[in-house]
């Protein structure tokens, strides 16, 4: 996870690499009024602290799940039009 914040140097051609931090950041960015994002290493540390508290982590996971479902249904509705 720490390597996510290290600059990679030259860009390469092709599809971007899908990693856990990329997926997590995309999921967190879909939350309404999201105070969570992965911009600096301390953001990962903050998520670790939340994960240590089961109730807080469960609430965050539920919010992510609902946001993902809403995002998918919006995409589905847009494709049908």
- State pLDDT tens for residues 5-64: 777 767 777 887 788 888 888 888 888 766 777 888 888 888 889 899 999 999 989 988
Q: Which residue has the higher pLDDT, 2 or 66?
A: 66
H-assigned helices in the chain: 20-29, 41-52, 54-80
pLDDT at 55: 94
Specify whether the CB–CB gap between 3 and 38 falls below 8 A: no
Specify whether the CB–CB gap between 27 and 68 falls below 8 A: yes
Backbone angles phi, psi at 47, to 5 degrees: -65, -35
Question: pTM of this prediction?
Answer: 0.65
pLDDT at 26: 85
Give me the torsion for CA of 4, 9, 14, 19, rounded to 10°.
Answer: -10
Q: Where are the domains of the chain?
A: 40-81
């Amino acid at each position: 996870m720490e390597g996510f914040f290290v600059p990679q140097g030259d860009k390469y051609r092709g599809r971007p690499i899908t990693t856990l931090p990329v997926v997590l950041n995309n999921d967190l960015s879909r939350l309404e009024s999201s105070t969570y994002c992965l911009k600096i290493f301390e953001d990962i540390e903050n998520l670790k602290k939340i994960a240590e508290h089961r109730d807080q982590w469960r609430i965050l996971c539920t919010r992510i799940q609902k946001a993902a479902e809403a995002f998918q249904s919006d995409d589905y509705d847009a494709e049908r039009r």
